[in-house]
Amino acid sequence: MAQNVKILSTGRYVPDRVLTNYDLEKMVDTSDEWITQRTGIKERRIVDGTTSTTDLAVRAAKNAMDKAGILPDDIDLVIVATVTPEMFFPSTACLVQKELKLKNAFAFDISAACSGFIYAMAIATHFIQNGFCKNALVIGAEALSRITNWSDRSTCVLFGDGAGAAILSSGDEQGILGFELGSDGENGLLLYCHAFGLSDVTYSQVKENPNFRKIYMEGNEVYKFAVKIMPYAVEKVLEKVGLSSSDIDVFIPHQANIRIIESAAKRLKIPMEKVFVNLHKYGNTSAASIPIALDEAVEEGRIKKGDKVVLVGFGGGLTWASTVIKWV
């Protein structure tokens, strides 16, 4: 029989260093006014030279584990969603396992950019539902500043670093009601970051272009995709679980751009009072954005027992993902 799955706790960690729009004015030809009007972002957090994605993930995970009062031995699955692993292998999840001494877990990473946390939640939910594990630690963690092209004003103003986590467990009541996941590889190169390049990357290519392994984005095209796919992904998942947008108590979208969020909320007829927004503080932290927002929403008392919470993300791949959670 399928097990019920719920969110036991959430956690987050963001680096202390704040990079404001005024700081960016000194780095590229931009202004606080432009960034605020076009994106809603006022500042973002940036890792120092010695902090890695794993460090961020470990701190967010520890925060979630402490809140749940769960012991390291009781975690039996670790999934990290990230596009900024510090190594190709071992996975960030295995590095987290080592740091937190999660010796009974199996651990792996997934790559689905800003949709990554919901993809990871979906994987963990299915493992728990079929009885393969009981307590999964799901983390979204990014040190995007390491792959940001700091000379490209059209992208460097958007991103930030941080990590969020959730512990998913089997429970008496059904908390996680359903998922909608999708991807469109055809349009993947609207937004990318090279690892080895499309063909062999020679040393001279990288030497000639220090931004070769940095984020590239066709912002306008990604914007058009985002404003269409967010409402689509929400409508699809609501249909699957037999709810409508008027049933949503709290809406937590990927924190990329306030204009994208407002457009999606309007199309879905969800009033902005039900929408959680924190992008002014952190910018777009890719896979970390949704779990950081979820944790803050819980901490601020925005989510109450019995509430229906919808999470939705879109991003590189292209990918999209949504889920409906009943807060039990």
Question: What's the closest the beta carbon of residue 38 comes to ligand ACO, in angstroms?
Answer: 4
Answer yes or no whether residue 274 interacts with ligand ACO by CB under 6 A: no
Say how many residues touch ligand ACO, by CB under 6 A. 23
Contact criterion met (CB below 8 Å) for 258 and 35? no
Answer yes or no whether residue 183 interacts with ligand ACO by CB under 6 A: no
* Phi/psi of residue 214, nearest 5 degrees: -120, 170
Sign of the torsion angle spanned by Cα atoms 67, 73, 76, 80: positive
DSSP 167-230: EEEEESS--EEEEEEEE-GGGGGGEE--SSTTTTPPHHHHHH-TTTTS-EE-HHHHHHHHHHHH
Nearer to ligand ACO, 27 or 71 (CB): 27
By C-alpha distance, which of 119, 128, 114 is closest to 167? 128
Answer yes or no whether residue 113 interacts with ligand ACO by CB under 6 A: yes
Contact criterion met (CB below 8 Å) for 170 and 37? no
Return all residues near 233 (Cβ < 8 A) that are at least 6 apart. Answer: 180, 182, 312, 314, 320, 321, 322
Using CB under 6 A, which residues numbered 79 to 98 contact ligand ACO?
Answer: none
254 catalytic? Reply is: yes
What CA–CA distance (Å, rounded) separates 89 from 109? 10
Using CB under 6 A, which residues numbered 239 to 268 contact ligand ACO?
Answer: 256-257, 260
Nearer to ligand ACO, 106 or 223 (CB): 223
The one catalytic residue among 21, 133, 149, 254? 254
Using CB under 6 A, which residues numbered 119 to 138 contact ligand ACO?
Answer: none
The one catalytic residue among 63, 94, 114, 257? 114
Question: What's the closest the beta carbon of residue 177 comes to ligand ACO, in angstroms?
Answer: 25
Question: What's the closest the beta carbon of residue 46 comes to ligand ACO, in angstroms?
Answer: 16
Question: What's the closest the beta carbon of residue 154 comes to ligand ACO, in angstroms?
Answer: 4
Answer yes or no whether residue 316 interacts with ligand ACO by CB under 6 A: yes
For ligand ACO, what does the binding mask look like between residues 39 and 68, x meaning CB under 6 A?
A: x-----------------------------
Using CB under 6 A, which residues numbered 211 to 240 contact ligand ACO?
Answer: 219-220, 222-223, 226
284 catalytic? Reply is: yes
114 catalytic? Reply is: yes
The H or E element containing residue 99 is helix 92-100
Sign of the torsion angle spanned by Cα atoms 91, 63, 77, 5: negative
Contact criterion met (CB below 8 Å) for 14 and 4? no
For ligand ACO, what does the binding mask look like between residues 154 and 173, x meaning CB under 6 A?
A: x--x----------------
Binds ligand ACO (CB under 6 A): choice among 153, 213, 274, 280: 153
Q: Is 89 exposed, middle or buried (0-12, 13-18, 19+ CB in 10 A)?
A: exposed
Contact criterion met (CB below 8 Å) for 205 and 212? yes
Answer yes or no whether residue 10 interacts with ligand ACO by CB under 6 A: no
Kindly state the tokens that stand for 308. 């229906």
| Residue 22: Cβ within 10 Å count | 12
Catalytic residue ranges: 114, 254, 284
Interacting residue ranges for ligand ACO, rule: CB under 6 A: 30, 34-35, 38-39, 113-114, 153-154, 157, 191, 219-220, 222-223, 226, 256-257, 260, 284, 286, 315-316
